[in-house]
Structure 1
């Protein structure tokens, strides 16, 4: 490669490093370091039940939880089915109501239609609550007063015993008693709103009802679809109504809600991440495991509301749950977090100029990579085309441009680092460790550029995500396996080398090794991405142990496999294709190292600690394996020589 071109490309990389570092370590880090307050929330119905078991009123029970760090109460919007199960209303088909009236006449009944649904209510306040919500959410709703404190609501919605029944999905507002209890206890309500068949008119009507709830600053949606989820116009209307209420939107971790990400963007990313453990999951956990899960969610994934579902089985329940919250508060403080109102992530400024400069660094790295592949005559032309495409994509779709360039960064730099630093000759231990560190830092340029390109509140809140996760892990492996296979193959040119490899006789050992490598790559690919393979219980215990010892656990595939293999490869050199398994593992380690930072919702400091622990542990383990091999080889020679 021409020296002037090479120096020019390195100058572009240096400028890009400065641009990305400014965004990553100044703007993003400064935002994250003040984003440290976590809110503890409980469920109103569960605390009411727990309080009753302890001989306390709901207000007294809530006040006890407040003393132990709780500041918010989730109020789940009741269904008609819930109220019927509690004996507060009765729900009939028209025919069933006629049959009942034959034996129990009703004073002044309306004309009964057999196909309609009828709700019998014995409280004026409850009637007003249900009627206003049903009238706002459904058409064809009528209300009738049929006697002293006795009311009927009639709806054309059919009564059917299935999950489509309005009994099972229609939310009917929040009882005044529950709202009064929360306010009297000095806590903040978080309404958990049921979805409904939304249109532009009823969205305004329904949210006007919810706006009457005092003290709300966060709203939680209950179902896997949001009102208006299938229409950008209706979601915009929902966002407009939420803005009128000046509330944030709670995002439940591990619970995909259709329309949520779009609504979060429309709300100017005013989103708070929420983590909870369901009662069914909690039954299978020890207290220590539950504490670890809550603490990790807050410390490593920026969950800022921890929604605690209390245990309702066993003796001394109230004290048991309060002690758990005390332990959780201590654990969070140990992670450098504080209890209080949930921190909301402030906007992270995004400069198009800095994004453009960062992208130029990735392009320069790509050209250096192509130079290693001996594409020298085409480099200038390819570079000019790449810059023009980068400019055009930034203008056409700024968000997509950033994602694609971030993907390019995490493919190019781990691949290029191995191409630059690996050689056929071995090195001394000191040299190998030094080169290992240099190689890893060079790979991490890809991580730096990715972080600079994706430093945005949308990515940090998982409203948007890095694309091409599996490609980012697999492409470096494929490129490196092909490159080094050809590097040591016999022949003068690439075509001759390929023919030589294809014409080689298949040896059983090589075939078995190839099969094992293919299986290893398949497992590796399946375990990457946002929806990976299920992790075994033993591995979960091992991860928990690492968390307890190190504070932040390194990735297993890095410190147990990839990094030790890379150190051995540097010590022995890539002599021939018998070293392909080591190369495969080394490439996995470097790809994983860089992709650690693709989890933008994880605080930057946590990712740095994770990467650092993986590197020093990997070097240590690699040295142990190296000296064990030397000892075994020495012992073998002594045995052979008698």
Structure 2
């Protein structure tokens, strides 16, 4: 089929792509609006740590909280008392014998608080008398597995062993809550899940917390409220009580994903560092962790662990430490300290998702027509059908949109790299007079093609669950590996020419593949191939938010330097690998040295893949992702230009004849 006969179908694909990208940009604009309306991040410290700091430094707790508030702290987390806390602090005595535990409360106020909180957690009340006719109250759990309890004149008797009841929550300590509120700070409650949690009991507990002055809860322990089948009830209780739930990032608490879905993503994400991990981090590392979490991952509460409790200046050291965190957060004016709130729903309509899916199908169809040795009208009809199928899948729901977004993430960067493949295989051996200018222009054009995929992916996933990582982009490693693999194969087989006969295309591709596989392997070529292979494997292994390969200490220091020197740190795969390799590959091909350009083209593909992958992290604000790509593009082009200038000068100095084309 001639190129002229394909023209109407190409026009159709272009029209569908343009309409789909426009709809995707509309959905992306709705997400951008939501992000701009939610720019406050709560800075919270732990009350127990603040009290410990006050005791160690000799500064009253009220003054300690005042100093912390002065540098940006907005709230204090207060953990609920447990039976063991009452015993450890001398507010209660315990005696246990087998399956019987007796708790004696020291004062009436604590006794009333404990009694009320046990009732809130589902215990029913019955009145009986003791053998000495003293009025008593018998409490027992509604669920048999939670044991039973009896109280009389300041006693609570549990029909369970002490290890089974020592972690039972008995409410927030009122003195701690009062201290926090008098300091003008918000109170964040830390409570644990409890046996027999129902909508009624959880609502009672949360309503009491709300009445005490706390409007946000973070779950302690290994479970969230409502674990073991009551996530929906816990979500309804949170909304009924008007309490906000804070999901701890990387906390891996049981049931947090189900509670997040039950809340329809109406919660805030919290970043914290465990006490054990704080002992292994330097102050600079801790500051960097908190700053990046707040700026880059839609975290709306940072639970800051204090850095030291020793020395007469420990309060001032912690004040400086938190001040550095707040200053880093505020850099660029993207976010600022304040009371957190959930992200709004984007409100992106289904029709926008459908048209964005049509754009993804158009990209995939264009790629198929460009790289596959197919001819005939039936192939073109299939190509026109693909956008419609993808549009239907995107309208079908979240799962369909994830699959279609993956398709766009594979197709767009691959399409962007095809001109590089064509140039390397071009039969025209004429050298260009301005290889650097041509290389830079080619890199910009490729990034614009990749941007079509970026707009499509961002539009398809423009909803609150993706912004909060309740749901994530599907197949991040496949989106990295497949475009690079396709480009590597095409560098060997070449691309079909428009209108070329099918048999001729297949024969030429097979011949090139056989010639490549039949070439003798030199030591330097083997070494270069191994280096490229290892680089590609590392690039793929380190993708995602929880990569399988860690970051070296040297790279962490380099990242810190880039963070300090640039408005936003670009991705290493772009500015240090992909973009410089693109400039070198195009420049060498333009200079007639195509044999050296081919291996560089494989590395160059990493840059375009990484550019699109940057926007697949939907929990990263759009503005930040755009800044990261722009800085990486400028820095990578500059490094590539310097490398190309050095190579060109060396080539002129050696006066080597241009190697023959690999075409």
Check whether TM > 0.5: yes
* Alignment equivalent of 1:184, drawn from 166, 182, 185: 182
CA distance in 1, matches of 2:375, 2:107: 84
Report the CA distance between 1:568 and its aligned residue. 1.2
Report the CA distance between 1:471 and its aligned residue. 0.3
CA 1:531/1:66 → structure 2, altered by over 3 Å: closer, same or farther?
closer
Kindly report which structure 2 residues correspond to 1:95-174, keeping only aligned pairs within 5 A, or say none.
114-134=98-118, 136=121, 138=141, 139-145=146-152, 150-156=154-160, 158-160=161-163, 165-167=164-166, 169-174=167-172
* Conserved 8 A contact 2:440-2:583: yes
CA distance in 2, matches of 1:420, 1:580: 13
Structure-2 residue corresponding to 1:455: 462
CA 1:22/1:407 → structure 2, altered by over 3 Å: closer, same or farther?
same
CA distance in 1, matches of 2:290, 2:344: 23
CA 1:416/1:198 → structure 2, altered by over 3 Å: closer, same or farther?
farther
Structure 1 residue 536 and structure 2 residue 552: aligned? yes
Structure 1 residue 564 and structure 2 residue 571: aligned? no
Structure-1 residue corresponding to 2:605: 587
SS at match of 2:507: coil
Report the CA distance between 1:413 and its aligned residue. 0.6
Report the CA distance between 1:255 and its aligned residue. 1.8
SS at match of 1:244: helix
CA 1:609/1:142 → structure 2, altered by over 3 Å: closer, same or farther?
same
* Conserved 8 A contact 1:488-1:577: no
For these two proteins, the number of residue pairs brought into alignment is 606
SS at match of 1:117: strand
Report the CA distance between 1:360 and its aligned residue. 0.8
Structure-1 residue corresponding to 2:220: 222
Structure-2 residue corresponding to 1:9: 13
Of stretches 561-570 and 519-528 in structure 1, the one that deviates more from structure 2 is 519-528
The Cα offsets for residues 451-508 of structure 1, whole Å up to 9 and x where unpaired, read as 1111112111122111101000000011111111112999934344444444445554
CA distance in 2, matches of 1:637, 1:212: 80
Structure-2 residue corresponding to 1:435: 442
Structure 1 residue 417 and structure 2 residue 432: aligned? no
Structure-2 residue corresponding to 1:550: 566
CA 1:536/1:382 → structure 2, altered by over 3 Å: closer, same or farther?
same
* Conserved 8 A contact 1:44-1:73: yes
CA distance in 2, matches of 1:75, 1:443: 48
Of stretches 325-334 and 358-367 in structure 1, the one that deviates more from structure 2 is 325-334
Structure 1 residue 523 and structure 2 residue 538: aligned? yes
* Alignment equivalent of 2:253, drawn from 239, 250, 257: 257
Structure-2 residue corresponding to 1:393: 393
Report the CA distance between 1:415 and its aligned residue. 0.3
The Cα offsets for residues 9-50 of structure 1, whole Å up to 9 and x where unpaired, read as 1111111221122222x2122222232222221211122222
* Conserved 8 A contact 1:486-1:497: yes
Structure-2 residue corresponding to 1:89: 92
* Conserved 8 A contact 2:56-2:310: no
SS at match of 1:357: helix
CA distance in 2, matches of 1:380, 1:229: 52
* Conserved 8 A contact 2:370-2:495: no
CA distance in 1, matches of 2:270, 2:298: 9
* Conserved 8 A contact 1:261-1:463: yes
SS at match of 1:335: helix
Structure-2 residue corresponding to 1:197: 195
CA 1:512/1:431 → structure 2, altered by over 3 Å: closer, same or farther?
closer
* Conserved 8 A contact 1:272-1:305: yes
Kindly report which structure 2 residues correspond to 1:365-384, keeping only aligned pairs within 5 A, or say none.
365-373=363-371, 374-377=373-376, 378-383=378-383
Structure 1 portions without partners, runs of 5+: 95-113
The Cα offsets for residues 397-440 of structure 1, whole Å up to 9 and x where unpaired, read as x1011111111111101001111344125642212211111011
The Cα offsets for residues 62-98 of structure 1, whole Å up to 9 and x where unpaired, read as 344334433311112233333333233344431xxxx
Alpha-carbon RMSD: 2.8
Structure-2 residue corresponding to 1:102: none
* Conserved 8 A contact 1:565-1:585: yes
SS at match of 1:257: coil
* Alignment equivalent of 1:318, drawn from 301, 315, 319: 315
CA distance in 2, matches of 1:57, 1:153: 37
* Alignment equivalent of 1:80, drawn from 80, 83, 89: 83
SS at match of 1:633: helix
* Conserved 8 A contact 1:122-1:151: no
CA 1:477/1:205 → structure 2, altered by over 3 Å: closer, same or farther?
closer
* Alignment equivalent of 1:308, drawn from 304, 309, 317: 304
Structure 1 residue 602 and structure 2 residue 636: aligned? no
* Conserved 8 A contact 1:275-1:305: yes
Of stretches 486-495 and 625-634 in structure 1, the one that deviates more from structure 2 is 486-495
Structure-1 residue corresponding to 2:478: 471
